[in-house]
Every structure is written in structure tokens, then in C-alpha cells.
Structure 1
Amino acid sequence: MRIFITIFTLIFCFSTYTIADSSSSAVLVTGSTGAFGEAICLSLASEGYNLLITGRNEKKLKSLKNKLQTKYPSTKVETLKIDFSDFKTIKAAANKTDGVSLKAVVLIGPRPSLRKNGFPSTQEWSEEFQKTFIAPLEVVRIFGEKIENNGSIVIISGSSSKNYLPNYQNTNVLRLAWIGEVKNLVQFFAVRKIRVNAVSPGIILTEYHKKRIEEKAKLNNTTFQAQLSLDTAAIPLRSYGHTDDVANLISFLISDKSVHLNGSNIVLDGGESTAY
């Protein structure tokens, strides 16, 4: 009887482990250590996904890995160095993931930094497109081969991809370029039924934007809350989004709940955009 109980316990434990292990797919997240990236990683880890987190700062990657595994011990997290200003790091990262199968790729590229006024030079355009469009697209090209059939790719763009924003001259072009590419990628990955969508956030209340609001409040001799209310007056919801809003949308887009959502650009701005 004792032997039977022992065997039953071993079988139960083994089957529980294999079910838990096989039910958790890996997701590659670029720009993992930024405000969006960290929130997305924490959200996905809470749902049982294993993660490949990438960035150019290996110290920050290690710190995020520790944070994720401390909070979610059963989550497997691997770090990969990807610097969008160095194509070699993309290929090197791919070589380290031979045999890896991905549920999804979440592509967060660098923030465009073109000057707002006047025509950028040819060199400025070239450098910016290399860093914010061509290099991230190389990640899709190389790691796309590792995505499972019926998987998902989500590209983070910005609300200026839908509605021209005068305060973001020139960088509007880069945001919009990704929306055109989404339509291309939908066709490229169609045979494998891999869905490709874009998320275009408006202003998200990250620490960066909180500091900007604080600076404006100080300049206008008012409180943070009063300045925030003034800044969001033109938004129907009268508020900026939070990183959790972005993370929750990403989670939905890579899940089986969105299996027929493909080629879309979802604007996450509280209704601020007036474009159809």
C-alpha cells in the first residue's frame, strides 16, 4: 500500500510539472527595461509566460530578471543583449536562441529623436530610420522564424501614427512607417497564421512624463494635479493612460482571445485622436 501511494505521488507530481511546463510559452520583449517594457514583462510573467527580455544595458536586464523571478519564481527568464544601433547584437542574440519557440514578439523600438523643426539632413534621416525602423524590423525578420504558427507580433508605435501632432514634426513620419509595415507583415506571415498588430499609445503617465508635468506646474506656479487636469482637458476621458493599460492590451493581443484581430493599429489615448 505504501509503495502504491509513493508511485501515485510521483506520477501526480511529474504530470503536474509537465503540464505547467508545456502550458507556458515564451515571449520575446525588446526594450524590456524601459517603462513600457517592464510593465509588459511583469504582466506577462503574472500570466505564466516565459520571457526573453532584451535591451542594451546588461546590468538593467539582470536587475529586471531578478525582479521578475523574485515575484514570479516559476517564470523562466533569459536575457539577451540587443542594441538597435548595432546590428551585430541582433544576430548574436538570435544565435543564442537556437531551438527556442516563441508564442509572440513584442517590439518596442527606440524613441525617435529627430529635431522637431525644419528639414532633417539626409544623414539625420538615415541614422534615425536605421535605429528606429530598420534595426527593429531586423528583429522581426530574424526572430519571426522562431514564432509558432498562430502566434502574434505586436509593434509599439505612437498616437501620431493616426493623428498628425504638430509638436512631433518629423517623428510623425517614423511612427506612421510602422503602420505601413504592419500591413506588409500581415501578408508575409499569413501562411503561418501569425497575427501582426500595432499599439499606438498617446501620452502615458510614466516617470518621464510625470517629471515634465511637475516642471510645467512649477513654471506655472500651480500644483501637479491642477497642471495634469489642464493638460488632459482635451482628452474625453480627462486622463493620461498608465503603463498597465499598455501591458493589458498587449496581453490581449498575444492571447487566444484576439485570434481574428490582425493588421490593426489600436490607438490608446483616451479618445484624444479625432481621426476616423
Structure 2
Amino acid sequence: MNTVLVTGASAGFGEAICRKLIADGYKVIGAARREDKLKSLATELGDNFLPLQFDVTQKDAVDNILATLPIGFQQIDILINNAGLALGIEPAYEADYTDWETMVQTNIIGMMHLTRTILPGMVERNFGYIINLGSIAGTYPYRGGNVYGATKAFVKQFSANLRTDLFGKKIRVTNVEPGLCGGTEFSNVRFHGDNAKANDVYKNVQYITAEDIANTISWLVNTPPHMNVNSIEIMPIAQAPAGLNVSKEM
């Protein structure tokens, strides 16, 4: 039975991924900052789910916790780097610089550290799978996406370079790039708790859901081991790249 580590497990994509992979028969380590949410999930999911309370930006704490995993959960076969966030939608010249730093620390540094910590064990065993949660924002720029989009472009290129470094080894790497996804806390966090503004993003739109992403992850981890999906871009039918805009008579 393979063991999966999912970060950002207390809500949204991470919570849905944990539920789906437990149902698929995996052992799942769910890591997140909010201990109460993890405990509730552990009660629901049973003994094959191990809750770990940590913040991916706190490297020493992460190392200490991973070094003391209980027997049965010590060998991590699949790492799902899901923890991440967007903060603010202001243009670059009005953005809060602290928000920028938080996004870089979480979306880039936290992902890098966990990958560098867990990957050597996969290489030693010549077996493993790293799935990074990117975003279409890493490909298509939009107003106010500035640093968030840049962090997801990093995730995209980091994933591609991991595949290159791991060439010749039986370790898979996939970058999952969701588009507009509702029913999560993503926009509530982005708008710093302004729920009305967050709800407006999804009004009258049939968006993709966290369960759609969880089902995609389930499909990925259950594909044949000789097969690697380098990246997968997922949008609702209601969303598409809008093409190039032209502003006349500026």
C-alpha cells in the first residue's frame, strides 16, 4: 500500500484529494496549519489517514515532524505539493509587498523544501511520484495576477526541470494546472476574508470543483508506472484563454 503526503490538506483541493485517495486504498498523510480541521478529517477517514500539523514555510518544524513519522508512514511514495495561496488582486504598482513575500514563501520555498527533503528517498528506492499543483495563472497572465502567476510559472518550470533531473529513474512528475475552481477557500483567502467579493467571482458560472481535481489526481496516480503526464491543464467549459486584447487610442 503506497503512502501519499498531501500538503494543504485541511480544505479545498487538499481535503478532497485526501478523501479520494483514502477511498482508493492509499495511506495518506494530510499536512496543514489548522489542527482542528485535520482532526475532524482524521475522525472521518480512519486509521489510514495521518494528520500532521505544520506550516510548509517553517522549514525546521517540517524537518522535525517528518523525521519522527510513525512506522507505516515513514516511506513517502507520492508527494502532492498542494499548499499554496493567492493574496490580493491589485496591479503590481498598488500591491501589498508582504502579500508578495507570503506567496513566494508558500508557493515556491515551501514546495522546494518538501521536494528536496523527500525526493532523495524516492531516488534511493527508484520509485515515486511528485505532483505539483500549479495553475493556469502560470501560463496566462491576468490583471492583478502578477506575483501569484509568477509563482505558478515557477512551479511549471520546476516540474519540467525535475523530470529532466530524474531522467532514467522510475520517478514521475506532473504539474496540474487548474483554472476557475469554486467551492474552496481560494478567493476568500485572496480577498483577505471578504466573502462577498469572493462569492462574486463564481456567480452565474459553472466552475470546476475540488472533487474534479481530486478525481484527476486519482487518475494520475493510478496510471501505469511507465506513463508520465508532464502537465495537465483543466478549465471549466465557461472559461477559455481570451486571446490578445488591444487598447486603442490610449
Which range, TM-score by smaller chain? 0.7 to 0.9
Alignment check: 8 A CA contact 2:10 2:38 kept:
yes
> Gapped runs of 5+ residues in structure 2?
189-194, 244-250
1:106-121 equivalent positions in 2, closer than 5 A: 106-113=80-87, 116-119=90-93
SS of the equivalent of 1:257 reads coil
The aligned length equals: 230
Q: What residue is the counterpart of 1:203 in the other structure?
A: 180
Alignment check: 8 A CA contact 2:184 2:210 kept:
no
Q: What residue is the counterpart of 1:20 in the other structure?
A: none
State the shift of 1:167 in Å: 4.2
Amino acid at match of 2:208: G
Distance 1:269 1:128, change over 3 A: same
Residue of structure 2 aligned with 1:160, choices 111, 133, 137: 137
Amino acid at match of 1:108: N
State the shift of 1:56 in Å: 1.5
Distance 1:121 1:35, change over 3 A: closer
Q: Normalised by the size of structure 1, how large is the TM-score?
A: 0.73
Supply the distance in 2 between the matched residues of 1:53 and 1:136 (Cα, whole angstroms).
Answer: 15
| Structure whose residues are more often helix by fraction | 1
Residue of structure 2 aligned with 1:143, choices 97, 118, 122: 118
Q: Which moved more, 1:126-135 or 1:206-215?
A: 206-215
Q: What residue is the counterpart of 2:207 in the other structure?
A: 240
1:236-256 alpha-carbon deviations (Å, 9 max, x no partner)? xxx311111100111122223
Amino acid at match of 1:106: I
Matched, 1:179 2:156: yes
Amino acid at match of 1:97: L
Matched, 1:58 2:24: no
1:193-233 alpha-carbon deviations (Å, 9 max, x no partner)? 2111111111212154696588549xxxxxx9xx41xxx4x
Q: What residue is the counterpart of 1:4 in the other structure?
A: none
> Gapped runs of 5+ residues in structure 1?
1-23, 70-74, 218-223, 233-238
State the shift of 1:123 in Å: 6.6
Supply the distance in 1 between the matched residues of 2:242 and 2:228 (Cα, whole angstroms).
Answer: 20
Supply the distance in 2 between the matched residues of 1:169 and 1:252 (Cα, whole angstroms).
Answer: 31
State the shift of 1:275 in Å: 8.5
Q: Normalised by the size of structure 2, how large is the TM-score?
A: 0.80
Supply the distance in 1 between the matched residues of 2:99 and 2:40 (Cα, whole angstroms).
Answer: 33
State the shift of 1:259 in Å: 3.4
Identity of aligned residues (%): 21
| Larger CA Rg, structure 1 vs 2 | 1
Residue of structure 2 aligned with 1:48, choices 25, 29, 34: 25
Distance 1:81 1:269, change over 3 A: same
Distance 1:125 1:169, change over 3 A: closer
Distance 1:251 1:84, change over 3 A: same
Amino acid at match of 2:90: K
Supply the distance in 1 between the matched residues of 2:224 and 2:167 (Cα, whole angstroms).
Answer: 18
Alignment check: 8 A CA contact 2:91 2:143 kept:
no
